[in-house]
């Protein structure tokens, strides 16, 4: 399926550890703004993708985010990928972990999407927003009470955004992956047999590859999904069917 993003401008959060989406958009001729709180990751990304704009900011800080992105300029495509995974059993959840997780995983989605959507509306142009969620928005795993709650809330937020921004021709969708081979996902596999048992629960007997998630993001960003909004693509190797 041929995708054409040339002439557009995309903003991708969580681009330091999630640079594959930036690389894919860059390869398709998109001007990309990569946002991360880790400057070394952004430097590496800039070397791999010459011309990519970089913004170093902690999206968990509302005021710093406003300063960094408030005048970001025209954006046509937005990928809300930034997230943090801090594992705690429910009875041990602390205020700091709760606040930090919700600030990064959910509040930043609201703030960055407001900035981008207001710009789209002022310019009178259509746009597409993709929120990177997780299959744990729908299923439970031990020690992920707070993280799962942010992703469950993201499901509702995606639908609300789609409903309110739809009249402005702005589409909003999500992707909900299973475990992918990233540093963050590995945090959830701290027990020796968990990875094996979890993989066996997937009908395809595999986890998702990063490329699988990126391809779903690109589809939802593109005009190939022009009639899709308020939806979520499960990239879960069939887990929810098991």
Angle between helices 62-69 and 108-123 (to 10 degrees): 30
pLDDT above 80: residue 50 = yes
pLDDT above 90: residue 49 = yes
pLDDT in tens, 127-141: 999 999 999 999 988
**Residue ranges making up the domain that contains 130:** 9-236
Number of domains in the chain: 1
**pLDDT, mean of residues 1-23:** 88
Query: In sequence order, what E strands does 46-183 have?
Result: 53-56, 77-80, 127-132, 170-177
Residue 104 resides in a domain: yes
**pLDDT, mean of residues 46-63:** 97
Per-residue pLDDT band for 190 (boundaries 50, 70, 90) equals low
Per-residue pLDDT band for 189 (boundaries 50, 70, 90) equals low
Which residues have C-beta within 8 Å of that of residue 215, sequence separation ≥ 6? none
pLDDT above 90: residue 200 = no
Q: State pTM to two decimals.
A: 0.93
pLDDT above 90: residue 206 = no
**pLDDT, mean of residues 161-178:** 97
pLDDT above 90: residue 186 = no
Angle between helices 210-221 and 19-27 (to 10 degrees): 50
Positive or negative torsion for Cα 39, 104, 28, 8? negative
Look at residue 197 in the predicted model and tell me its pLDDT. 73
147 belongs to the catalytic site? yes
Average pLDDT over all residues of the chain: 92
Residue 107 resides in a domain: yes
Q: How many residues does the chain have?
A: 242
159 C-beta neighbours (distance < 10 Å), count: 17
pLDDT above 70: residue 184 = no
pLDDT in tens, 77-96: 999 999 999 999 999 999 99
Residue 241 resides in a domain: no
Burial label, 50 (beta-carbon count in 10 A; 0-12, 13-18, 19+):
exposed
Q: What is the CATH number of the domain that holds 113?
A: 3.40.50.720
Residue 242 resides in a domain: no
């Amino acid at each position: 399926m041929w995708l054409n993003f040339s002439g557009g401008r995309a903003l991708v959060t969580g681009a330091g550890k999630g640079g594959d989406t930036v690389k894919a958009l860059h390869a398709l001729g998109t001007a990309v703004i990569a946002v991360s709180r880790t400057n070394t990751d952004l430097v590496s990304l800039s070397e791999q993708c010459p011309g990519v704009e970089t913004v170093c900011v902690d999206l968990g800080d509302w005021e710093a985010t406003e300063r960094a992105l408030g005048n970001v300029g025209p954006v046509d495509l937005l990928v809300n990928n930034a997230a943090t995974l801090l594992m705690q059993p429910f009875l041990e959840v602390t205020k700091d972990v709760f606040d930090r997780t919700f600030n990064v995983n959910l509040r930043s989605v609201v703030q960055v999407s407001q900035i981008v959507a207001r710009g789209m509306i002022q310019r009178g142009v259509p746009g597409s927003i993709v929120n990177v969620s997780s299959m744990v928005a729908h299923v439970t795993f031990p020690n992920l009470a707070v993280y799962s709650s942010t992703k469950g809330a993201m499901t509702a937020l995606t639908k609300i955004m789609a409903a309110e921004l739809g009249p402005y021709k702005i589409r909003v969708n999500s992707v909900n992956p299973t475990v992918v081979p990233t540093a963050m996902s590995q945090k959830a596999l701290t027990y020796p047999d968990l990875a094996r048992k979890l993989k066996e629960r997937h009908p395809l007997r595999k986890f998702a590859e990063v490329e699988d998630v990126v391809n779903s993001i690109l589809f939802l960003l593109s005009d190939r999904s022009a009639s899709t909004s308020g939806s979520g693509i499960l990239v879960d190797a069939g887990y929810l069917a098991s």
